[in-house]
Amino acid sequence: MSAESATRAPALSVGLTGGIGAGKSTVTRMLEARGAVVIDADVLAREAVAPGTRGLAEVVAAFGEQVLDADGALDRPALARQIFGDDRARQRLNAIVHPRVRRAATERAAAVSPGRVALHDIPLLVENGLAADHHLVLVVGASEPVRLERLAARGMQAADARSRMAAQATDDERRRVADIWIDNGGSLAVTHAQVDRVWERRIAPYAQNLRTGSRAERPLAAALVPDSGLPRTWTMQAEDLLARIRRAMGESALSAHHIGSTSVPGLVAKDVLDLQIGVQDLATADALADRLAAAGFPAMPGQWTDSPKDSLADGGWEKRLHVNADPGRHVNLHVRVAGGPAWRFALMFRDWLRDVAAEREDYARIKQRLAAQTTSTRDYAEAKAPWFDQAWPRIQAWATATGWYPPPS
């Protein structure tokens, strides 16, 4: 997923996480049985500080000989006592272990064949901000009473269990980044059914689309829906996708914005996220096409040009269009020249609708009428085109009156 990685078709990278007692290992085994290649962060962390490693030597230098047992191996309970409740100590340990774990995980994922799934089992994925490293984040959840009951069955005292749960991310924080949520609070049969459905409808097709550089199928008709809201609004999903895209493109992404109807609170829209990346020029966009495809956004073939608007520059309306390989999240990724007229118009139009309620309401009525009158998304888009030209003078007047300027990326 990184900008430095090879641009050959990668395996699908799924980051799997969940709170203590949620049953993450159970779901990991189910996915492994379906063909996923498991890369366990806990195993890699133990290998990073195994006897004789440079990692263990650095831990001893930071925390003292008392963190070693009689055989010279790491005494994990002794180390845990030192860092428990001490954020600075935990950060020192993480600075030693985490880079080694990430390097090892990257190496192992690179060895997984295209078309397959590299399942990264990461207990602290949310806490350590690692969601953008993966094509998908899958969270295993269960209610607090269920988790406490499971931990008690393992011999853990209730107070200790609650303390460990409190030290981890909350379910709300996990839901904020979860592309997929598996509820593991019921029977194994129910969990199996969820895993089967997710594997067959999303994970396996996504892996194959990555391998072939294909877009995911979409509904033919333009169905308008409201934002589903918390815990994962359209805006939140867009932010997560833009973080993944930025990671893939590196410094070549000069700007990254959520645009289009889903970026306007309260506006009904097709459940398709429109994202805009600004680049120096279209030659840069073409050079980065393989990286975007590897990140899950294959390029659409052909020439793509936005409809010019007068008073903006005559040139600069050409763009590159990428779409989603993920069957579970439809995306139009517009790659435009940063600062160019098409780039400016997309942001100006969004901000105008956000600011002027009457125009937003009028646009919603137009959208709903045209969606009812057309039978395909192509026909719907073509039917809307004249309205944009009619609205353009009003958008210009608003921009002048408000002193609008493109927002930072």
Binding site members for ATP: 21-26
Q: Which tokens in the block code for residue 342? A: 């098409």
What is the pairing mode between strands 37-40 and 117-121? parallel
Q: Reduce the DSSP state of residue 290 to 3 states and report it.
A: helix
Instruction: Single out the residue of 401, 391, 341 nearest to residue 366, CA to CA.
Output: 391
Distances (CA, A) of 238 to 136, 210, 295: 13, 20, 15
DSSP designation for 217: P
Residue positions in the annotated binding site?
21-26
Burial of 50 (0-12, 13-18, 19+ CB in 10 A): exposed
Cβ count within 10 A of residue 56: 19
User: Would you state the torsion angle of the CA atoms of residues 100, 101, 104, 105, taken in this order, to the nearest 10 degrees?
Assistant: -150
Question: Which of 358, 364, 297, 362 shows the shortest CA–CA distance to 332?
Answer: 297
Q: What is the DSSP string of 22-36?
A: S-HHHHHHHHHHTT-
Q: Tell me the chain's radius of gyration from C-alpha atoms.
A: 24
Task: Name which of 139, 87, 107 is nearest 131 in CA terms.
Answer: 139
